[in-house]
C-alpha cells in the first residue's frame, strides 16, 4: 500500500493571521503575553498541545477562529503582541552598542547535540540541552550574531512511564514535524537543500530544518531521507540513541555535516563554539575547508582553526567524556585524516591526552584544536585543569589553559508570570522582564520593597499550582493503572499547601544522589511528621534508559509513596520535562541539590528556583560553590574529603536532616500575626537579589562574547592574511627543529639570607637558544609557592629581559620586589613566543631549568 500525505493548513482570518507568524518563532516561549494569547483561544487544547503553537493552530476549529477574529478584546491583545514581536525583531539589542571594532563580519556558530528551547520542540534530554536553549535565547535577546547547529531527531525525547511497580519504562514519541515550529531550508532553485557527507566508504545526505529563536536561527540536520539507505536514515532517529557506531555517525553528521551545511547556505561564521565534545569533528572539516580554499597546509590551517574555536566542557569525570575505540574512529574519520594531509597516527594522537591512551576522546580533540576552553563553574574549571593536565604535561596545573565561565539560565523563560508581574511592579520600574537589564544588580534592588504578605501570596499561588499539577498527574497515572475510585480520590488530597515543601528534580544520574534523603527512614519519618513543623517533598526525574541503578532510585522513591508514614507527603511526579520543571522551580519553598562534590559541573535548576524565590539547600558543588555559605540559604557539608562513600553519605544525609529540622523548618513556621513568615520572605528577597543578576545566561553569553568570541573573531581577521599564517608556520618549524637544544640556568646573585619586604632581588638567567632567534621565545620567571606535588601553585609570571651576552648564551634579568613574607619559590623557563596567536600553549614548547 502506498500512502500519500498532504498538509492542511488552518485558514486564519486576515486580522488574526499574525498567529501563524507567532507560531513559527520560539519567541513566544519567553513572552507571557504571547503564551496568554494562545491560552485564551482554548486553554484545554493549549495544554494538550504541549505548548506547541503550530500543532495548536492546526487543531482549532474554523468556527473558533472566526469567533476570536470577531472578538475585539482578543484582536487588541493580538495587536499588542504583534507590536512587541516586531519591535523585538527590529531593535538591535545590547550587542549593537557594545560591539568592538572590526566586527562587521562577526558571527559565531554554536554547535550542540541537544537544545531545550520549549517543550513543543522536544530535541533535548537534560541540563546540556537546557543550557544550549537558554544560550540561544539570550544571544537573541542581546542581539549577538550567533546561529545554532544541531540534529533533527524523529524521537528527540524520552518519555518516562512508570509501571505499577514504580519501575521506569520509556516511550519514544515520534515528533510530528509537519506540526512543529520548523521550516525546511531550500536552495537557490527552491529545492530542499541537501548536504552530502562522507561516512566511511559511503556518501549520505542530510536535509536542513530551520528553527527561529527570536532574532536568531537554529539549523537542524536530518538524515531521514529517501536517498539514504535505511541504516543511514535512522542516524538522527533518536537523541543519544543506538549503539557506539550510531553515536559516532551522529557526531560525524553534526560536526562534519554541520560545517558543510553552513557553507551550503552561504553562511560564513568567524567563530565556532563546540558545546561539549560531541561536535568536535567540526574542527576537522574546518581545517579541510581552509586548506582547500586558502591553499594552506595542515599545520597552518590548524593554527587558524585553533585560534578561532571555543570549546566548553561539561563533564568532570573522565569516563563521562565521549570516548571511542580508535578502530571505530578510523572507519569514519580516515577519509578526513587523508584530506587533512596527516597520517592516521597523527590523527589519532589528536584524540589522546597521552600517547599511551587506548581510546580516542572527543574532549581531547576539542581541547587540542580550540584555543578558548572552559568549564562551566569556577570549581569545574579547577577540576578540568587537573583532569586534562596530561595534554600539557610540562605546565603547572594553574596554568593549564582551561578557564571557567559559570552557567546561567534564561530568566524570563523560567520565571513565573506571577513573579514577573510582582518584580515589574516593585523592582523593574513598571517594565517587563524582557525589557530590563537583568544583569544589573540595581534592577533587582527593588525586590526589597515588595510587601511581605504580597510576596508570600504570589509564592502561594504558585505553590497551589504545583500541588494541583502533582495531583492531576498522579490521578492520570492511577487511571492508567486501572485504580479504583477511592484510590484515585486520594490523589486529590496529596500534599498540603501550608506545609513546608522541598523540591528535588533532575536526571536520576546516580551521582546526584536522589536517594540520599532516604538514608535513615526513622529520622525522615520524625522530620516529616513533626506535628509542629511538618514537611513534604516533591521529586521528579528520569533515569537514563540504560541506567539500572538510576531506575532503582526511581522505583524506590515512587514506592515510598505507599509507605503509610510518607503517603501524600513524599511525591514522585512522572516524566520530568521543561513543563514540570517550571511548575517545580516556581512552586517549592526549598530546592534541594545533593550531588557528590565535585561531580555536578554546574547545575542550573537551582538558579531557576532561586529566581522565583525558592531558598537553596545544596552541597557546595557547581554553581552553588560560588555562592557558598551565606545568610539566606543553606549549604550541606563543606569541601572536606571523606574516607569512604558511605561515610560521606552518612555525614551529608545527617546534615540534611539537621539543617531542615533545626534551621529551615523553624524559620518557615515562624509567622507574624498575618501568618506570613516575614523572616523567610526576607531570605527570599536576599536570595533573588544575590543570585538572579549573576546566574543568568545574559551575563553568561556576554562573558563568552567578551572573553572568547570577540578575541576569536579578532584572530579570524588577523589570520585571514596568509602571509601572517605562513610567518607563524616558519617560526613553528624553526622552533620544532631546534627546541631540543635550548636550555636555561639560574645565575642569580646569591640572596641575602634575610630578605625583607620592599627589598629588591635580581634574578638572572643564562639562556642557550642555538639556532632559535631570541624574538621567538620569552624567558620567564614563575614566582610563587611550591605545592606538595612540586608544582608552583600560586604566584605570577614575569618576562625577563635580555641584558647581555656570554659566548653563545644570552643573559636575561629581572628585578623583583617581594610583597609577601614567608617562603617564596621561583622557577625559570623558556616559552615559545609566536605572534598573532591567542596564547602560546598549543602545540606547547616550554623548557624549565633542570
Ligand atoms: C533545568 C533543567 C535541567 C538541568 O538541571 P540540573 O540542575 O542541571 O540538574 C534538566 N532537565 C530539565 C527539564 C530542566 O528544566
For the segment 342-401, what is each residue's pLDDT rounded down to a tens digit?
999 999 999 999 999 999 999 999 999 999 999 999 999 999 999 999 999 999 999 999
Position 629 pLDDT exceeds 70 = yes
357: exposed, middle or buried (Cβ count in 10 Å: 0-12, 13-18, 19+): middle
pLDDT at 850: 87
3-state SS, one letter per residue, for 354-408:
CCCCCCEEHHHHHHHHCCEEEECCHHHHHHHHHHCHHHCCCCCHHHCCEEECCCC
- Cα separation of 685 and 456, whole Å? 11
β-bridge pairing 825-832 and 777-784: antiparallel
Round to whole Å and give the CA distance between 415 and 313: 27
The greatest distance separating any two alpha carbons of the chain, rounded to the nearest whole angstrom, comes to 98
**Residue 269 phi, psi (nearest 5):** -65, 150
Please give the DSSP secondary-structure letter assigned to residue 510.
G
Q: Which atom of ligand 1 is nearest to the CA of 605?
A: 7
Q: In the predicted model, is pLDDT for residue 765 greater than 80? A: yes
With the most atoms of ligand 1 within 8 angstroms of its CB, the residue from 117, 511, 543, 604 to mutate is 604
Q: For atom 1 of ligand 1, which residue has the closest CA? A: 605
If you take atom 3 of ligand 1, which residue's CA is the nearest one?
A: 127
For residues 612 and 687, what is the distance between their CA atoms, to the nearest angstrom?
A: 10
Q: How far apart are CA 317 and CA 598, in angstroms?
A: 9
Residues with CB under 6 A from ligand 1: 126-127, 130, 506, 576-578, 581, 603-605, 608
Residue pair 41/81 in contact (Cβ under 8 Å)? The answer is no
Q: Which three cell numbers stand for residue 564?
A: 503509610
pLDDT at 795 over 90: no
Distances in whole angstroms, Cα of residue 740 to Cα of each of 363, 395, 746, 840, 849: 29, 17, 19, 18, 13
CA dihedral angle for residue 666, residue 596, residue 520, residue 550, rounded to 10 degrees: 120
Ligand 1 centroid – CA 755 distance (Å): 54
What's the confidence (pLDDT) of residue 116?
97
Q: Give the CATH architecture of domain 734-848.
A: Sandwich (2.60)
* Ligand 1 mean position, distance from CA 116 (Å): 10
Which atom from ligand 1 is nearest to the alpha carbon of 603?
8
Cα separation, 538 vs 468, in Å, equals 12
Cell representation of residue 268: 560564513
Helix axes of 298-307 and 710-718: crossing angle, nearest 10 degrees: 150
Instruction: Give the architecture-level CATH label for domain 432-691.
Output: 3-Layer(aba) Sandwich (3.40)
18 CA distance to ligand 1 centroid (A)?
33
Please give the sequence-ordered ranges of beta strands (E in DSSP) within 376-495, or none if there are none: 402-404
Out of 50, 116, 596, 606, mutate this one to test ligand 1's pocket (max ligand atoms within 8 Å of CB): namely 116
Closest atom of ligand 1 to CA, residue 578:
13
Going from the Cα of 666 to the center of ligand 1, the distance in angstroms, rounded, reads 29
- Ligand 1 pocket mutation pick from 51, 124, 126 by most atoms within 8 angstroms of CB: 126
C-alpha cell at 4: 500519500
Q: Which helix (H) or strand (E) holds 842?
A: none
Q: Which sequence spans correspond to the domains of the chain?
A: 14-90, 94-164+181-408+704-718, 432-691, 734-848
Confidence (pLDDT) at 497: 97
Model-level pTM? Answer: 0.97
List pLDDT tens digits, range 429-458: 999 999 999 999 999 999 999 999 999 999
Taking the C-alpha atoms of residue 683 and residue 849, their distance in angstroms, rounded to an integer, is 54
Per-residue pLDDT, averaged over 756-770, amounts to: 92
Distance separating alpha carbons of residues 94 and 719, to the nearest angstrom: 27
Whether residue 305 has a cis bond before it, omega within 30° of 0: no
**pLDDT, tens digit, 9 for 90 and up, residues 598-619:** 999 999 999 999 999 999 999 9
Phi, psi dihedral angles at 188 (to 5 degrees) = -65, -25
Radius of gyration of the chain (CA): 29
| Burial of residue 534 (number of CB atoms within 10 Å: 0-12, 13-18, 19+) | middle
Q: Which atom of ligand 1 lies at the shortest distance from residue 512's CA?
A: 9
- The CA distance from 441 to 443, in Å, is 5
Q: What percent of the chain has pLDDT over 90?
A: 91
| CA distances to 32, 91, 133, 205, 657 from 85, in Å | 12, 10, 19, 36, 48
Q: What's residue 751's pLDDT?
A: 75
Q: Name which residue sits closest to atom 5 of ligand 1, judged by CA.
A: 605
Ligand 1 atom having least distance to the Cα of 577: 13
Say if residues 224 and 161 touch (Cβ distance below 8 Å).
Answer: no
Residue nearest to atom 4 of ligand 1 (CA): 127
Helix (H, G, I), strand (E, B) or coil at 782: strand
Q: Confidence class of residue 524 from pLDDT cuts 50, 70 and 90?
A: very high
Distance, first Cα to last Cα, the chain: 78
CB burial of 21-44 (b: ≥16 within 10 Å; e: otherwise) equals ebbbbbbbbbbbbbbebbbebbee
Pairing of strands 846-848, 159-162: unpaired
Task: Of 208, 211, 322, give the one whose Cα is nearest residue 258.
Answer: 208
Q: Does pLDDT of 542 surpass 80?
A: yes
Residues 419-436 have pLDDT tens digits of: 999 999 999 999 999 999
> Across residues 80-99, what is the average pLDDT?
96
How confident is the model at residue 673, as a pLDDT? 97
- CA-CA distance, 802 to 799, in Å (whole number)? 10
Whole-number pLDDT of residue 757: 85
Output the CA 130–ligand 1 centroid distance in Å: 7
Positive/negative CA dihedral, 29, 35, 38, 44: positive
pLDDT range class, residue 7, cuts 50, 70, 90: low
C-alpha cell at 139: 544571544
Residue 509 Cα to ligand 1 midpoint, Å, equals: 12
DSSP readout, 513-579?
A: -TTGGGS-HHHHHHHHT-SSS-EEEEEE----TT-HHHHHHHHHHHHHTTSTTTTTTEEEESS--HH
pLDDT for position 266: 97
Listed residue (477, 510, 474) closest to 493, CA to CA: 474
Of 30, 117, 130, 575, best ligand 1 pocket probe by most atoms within 8 Å of the beta carbon = 130
Q: 641 or 497, which is more confident?
A: 497
What cell does 796 get? 605570577
Contact 125, 158 (CB under 8 A): yes
pLDDT (tens digit, 9 = 90+) per residue, 24-62? 999 999 999 999 999 999 999 999 999 999 999 999 999
Provide the phi-psi class of 408: left if phi over 0, else alpha when psi is between -120 and 50, else beta: beta
Query: pLDDT band for position 823 (50/70/90)?
Result: confident
Nearest CA to ligand 1 atom 11: 126
For residue 239, what pLDDT is reported?
94
State how far Cα 48 lies from the chain centre. Answer: 29
Q: State the pLDDT at residue 822.
A: 83
CB 627 within 8 A of CB 694: no
Atom of ligand 1 nearest to the CA of 582: 15
Residue 87: which of 205, 269, 268, 215 has the closest Cα? 215
- Separation CA 205–CA 221 (nearest Å): 9
Cα-to-centroid distance, 396 and ligand 1 (Å) = 34
How many A from CA of 495 to the centre of ligand 1?
23
Give yes or no for residue 9 having a pLDDT over 90. no
Residue 733 CA neighbour count, 13 Å, CB half: 9
Distance CA 659, CA 105 (A): 54
Which residue is listed with cell 505499577?
164
Sign of CA pseudo-dihedral 526, 531, 533, 537: positive
Pick left, alpha or beta for residue 491 (phi over 0 → left; psi -120 to 50 → alpha; otherwise beta).
Answer: alpha
Q: What are phi and psi of 109, to 5 degrees?
A: -105, 125
Q: Which of 157, 376, 505, 541 to mutate to test the pocket of ligand 1 (most atoms within 8 A of CB)?
A: 505
C-alpha cell at 735: 622552533
In the predicted model, is pLDDT for residue 713 greater than 80?
yes
- What are the residues whose beta carbons fall under 8 Å from the beta carbon of 755, sequence distance 6 or more? 761, 818
> What gap in Å lies between CA 565 and CA 762, rounded to an integer?
73
| pLDDT tens digits, one per residue of 312-351 | 999 999 999 999 999 999 999 999 999 999 999 999 999 9
Classify strands 202-213 and 216-222 as parallel, antiparallel or unpaired: antiparallel
Taking the mean position of all CA atoms in its chain, how far away is CA 616? 20
Peptide bond into 326 cis (omega under 30): no
What class is the 94-164+181-408+704-718 domain? Answer: alpha beta
Q: Give the span between the Cα atoms of 821 and 785, in whole angstroms.
A: 11
Residue 493 neighbours by CB distance under 10 Å: 10
Q: CA distances (Å), 642 to each of 282, 386, 514, in order?
A: 41, 19, 19
Task: Kindly report the number of other CB atoms within 10 A of residue 613's CB atom.
Answer: 30
Ligand 1 centroid – CA 583 distance (Å): 13
When pLDDT is averaged across residues 639-657 and rounded to a whole number, the result is: 94
DSSP string, 47-96: HHTTS-HHHHHHHS-HHHHHHHHT-HHHHHHHHHHHHHHHHHHHS-HHHH
Rounded distance from Cα 604 to ligand 1 centre (Å): 6
Q: How many CB atoms sit inside 10 A of residue 163's CB?
A: 12
Q: Is the dihedral of CA 318, 321, 324, 330 positive or negative?
A: negative
Q: Which ligand 1 atom is the nearest neighbour of the CA of 602?
A: 8
Tally the residues of the chain. 850
Which triple of cell numbers denotes residue 423?
518584580
- For the chain, give the mean pLDDT: 95
Which residue's entry shows cell 521528579? 540
Per-residue pLDDT, averaged over 564-584, amounts to 97
Amino acid at each position: 500500500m502506498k500512502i500519500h500525505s498532504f498538509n492542511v493548513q488552518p485558514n486564519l482570518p486576515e486580522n488574526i493571521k499574525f498567529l501563524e507568524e507567532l507560531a513559527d518563532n520560539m519567541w513566544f516561549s519567553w513572552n507571557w503575553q504571547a503564551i496568554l494569547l494562545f491560552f485564551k483561544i482554548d486553554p484545554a487544547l493549549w495544554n494538550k498541545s504541549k505548548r506547541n503553537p503550530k500543532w495548536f493552530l492546526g487543531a482549532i476549529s474554523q468556527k473558533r477562529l472566526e469567533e476570536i477574529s470577531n472578538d475585539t478584546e482578543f484582536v487588541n491583545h493580538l495587536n499588542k503582541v504583534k507590536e512587541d514581536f516586531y519591535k523585538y525583531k527590529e531593535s538591535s539589542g545590547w550587542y549593537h552598542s557594545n560591539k568592538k571594532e572590526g566586527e562587521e563580519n562577526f558571527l559565531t556558530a554554536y554547535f550542540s547535540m541537544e537544545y531545550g528551547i520549549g517543550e513543543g520542540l522536544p530535541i533535548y534530554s537534560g541540563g546540556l540541552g537546557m543550557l544550549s536553549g537558554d544560550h540561544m535565547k539570550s544571544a537573541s535577546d542581546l542581539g549577538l550574531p550567533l546561529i545554532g547547529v544541531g540534529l533533527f531527531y524523529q524521537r528527540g525525547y524520552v518519555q518516562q512511564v512508570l509501571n505499577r511497580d514504580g519501575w521506569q519504562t520509556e516511550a519514544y514519541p515520534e515528533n510530528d514535524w509537519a506540526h512543529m515550529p520548523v521550516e525546511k531550508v531550500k536552495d537557490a532553485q527552491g529545492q530542499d537543500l541537501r548536504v552530502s557527507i562522507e561516512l566511511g566508504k559511503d556518501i549520505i545526505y542530510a536535509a536542513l530544518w530551520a528553527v527561529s529563536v527570536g532574532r536568531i536561527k537554529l539549523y537542524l540536520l536530518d538524515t531521514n531521507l529517501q536517498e539514504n539507505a535505511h541504516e543511514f536514515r535512522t542516524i538522527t532517529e533518536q537523541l543519544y540513541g543506538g549503539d557506539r557506531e550510531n553515536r559516532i555517525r551522529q557526531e560525524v553528521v553534526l560536526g562534519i555535516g554541520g560545517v558543510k551545511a553552513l557553507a551550503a547556505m552561504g553562511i560564513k561564521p568567524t567563530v565556532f563554539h563546540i558545546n561539549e565534545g560531541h561536535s568536535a569533528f567540526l574542527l576537522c572539516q574546518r581545517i579541510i575547508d581552509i586548506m582547500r580554499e586558502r591553499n594552506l597546509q595542515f599545520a597552518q590551517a590548524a593554527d587558524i582553526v585553533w585560534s578561532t574555536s571555543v570549546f566548553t566542557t561539561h563533564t568532570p569525570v573522565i569516563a563521562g567524556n565521549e570516548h571511542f575505540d580508535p578502530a571505530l574512529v578510523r572507519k569514519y574519520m580516515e577519509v578526513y585524516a587523508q584530506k587533512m594531509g596527516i597520517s592516521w597516527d597523527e590523527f589519532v594522537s589528536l584524540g589522546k591526552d597521552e600517547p599511551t591512551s587506548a581510546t580516542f576522546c572527543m574532549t581531547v580533540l576539542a581541547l587540542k584544536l580550540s584555543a578558548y576552553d572552559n568549564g562551566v563553574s569556577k570549581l569545574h574549571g579547577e577540576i578540568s585543569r587537573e583532569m586534562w593536565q596530561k595534554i600539557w604535561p610540562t605546565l603547572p596545573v594553574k596554568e593549564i589553559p582551561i578557564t571557567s565561565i559559570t552557567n546561567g539560565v534564561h530568566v524570563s523563560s523560567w520565571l513565573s508570570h506571577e513573579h514577573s508581574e510582582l518584580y515589574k511592579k516593585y523592582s523593574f520600574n513598571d517594565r517587563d522582564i524582557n525589557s530590563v537589564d537583568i544583569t544589573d544588580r540595581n534592577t533587582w534592588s527593588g525586590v526589597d520593597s515588595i510587601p511581605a504578605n504580597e510576596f508570600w501570596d504570589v509564592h502561594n499561588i504558585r505553590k497551589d499550582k504545583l500541588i494541583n499539577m502533582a495531583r492531576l498527574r498522579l490521578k492520570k497515572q492511577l487511571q492508567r493503572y486501572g485504580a479504583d475510585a477511592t484510590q484515585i480520590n486520594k490523589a486529590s488530597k496529596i500534599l498540603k499547601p501550608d506545609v513546608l515543601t522541598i523540591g528535588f528534580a533532575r536526571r536520576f544520574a546516580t551521582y546526584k544522589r536522589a536517594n540520599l534523603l532516604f538514608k535513615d527512614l526513622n529520622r525522615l519519618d520524625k522530620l516529616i511528621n513533626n506535628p509542629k513543623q511538618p514537611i513534604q517533598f516533591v521529586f521528579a526525574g528520569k533515569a537514563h534508559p540504560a541506567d539500572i541503578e538510576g531506575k532503582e532510585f526511581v522505583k524506590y522513591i515512587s514506592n515510598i509513596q505507599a509507605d503509610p508514614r510518607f503517603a501524600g507527603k513524599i511525591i514522585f511526579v512522572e516524566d520530568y520535562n521543561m513543563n514540570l520543571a517550571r511548575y517545580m522551580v516556581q512552586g517549592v519553598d526549598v530546592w534541594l541539590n545533593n550531588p557528590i562534590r565535585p561531580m555536578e559541573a554546574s547545575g542550573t535548576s537551582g538558579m531557576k528556583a532561586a529566581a522565583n524565590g525558592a531558598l537553596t539547600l545544596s552541597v557546595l558543588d557547581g554553581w552553588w560553590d560560588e555562592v557558598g555559605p551565606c545568610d539566606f540559604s543553606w549549604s550541606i557539608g563543606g569541601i572536606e574529603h571523606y574516607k569512604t562513600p558511605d561515610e560521606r553519605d552518612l555525614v551529608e544525609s545527617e546534615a540534611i536532616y539537621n539543617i531542615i529540622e533545626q534551621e529551615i523548618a523553624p524559620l518557615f513556621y515562624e509567622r507574624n500575626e498575618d501568618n506570613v513568615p516575614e523572616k523567610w520572605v526576607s531570605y527570599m528577597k536576599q536570595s533573588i537579589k544575590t543570585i538572579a543578576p549573576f546566574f543568568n545566561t545574559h551575563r553568561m553569553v556576554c562573558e563568552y562574547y567578551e572573553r572568547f568570541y570577540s578575541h576569536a573573531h579578532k584572530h579570524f581577521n588577523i589570520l585571514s592574511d596568509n602571509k601572517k599564517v605562513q610567518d607563524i608556520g616558519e617560526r613553528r618549524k624553526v622552533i620544532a627543529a631546534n627546541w631540543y637544544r635550548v636550555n636555561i640556568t639560574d645565575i642569580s646573585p646569591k640572596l641575602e639570607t634575610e630578605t625583607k619586604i620592599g627589598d629588591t632581588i635580581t634574578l638572572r638567567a643564562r639562556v642557550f637558544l642555538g639556532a632559535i632567534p631570541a624574538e621567538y621565545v620569552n624567558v620567564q620567571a614563575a614566582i610563587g609557592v611550591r605545592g606538595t606535588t612540586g608544582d608552583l601553585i600560586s604566584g605570577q609570571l614575569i618576562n625577563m629581559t635580555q641584558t647581555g651576552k656570554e659566548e653563545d648564551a644570552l643573559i636575561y634579568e629581572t628585578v623583583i620586589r617581594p610583597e609577601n613574607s614567608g617562603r617564596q619559590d621561583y622557577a625559570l623557563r623558556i616559552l615559545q613566543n609566536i605572534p598573532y596567536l591567542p596564547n602560546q600553549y598549543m602545540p606547547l614548547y616550554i623548557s624549565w631549568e633542570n
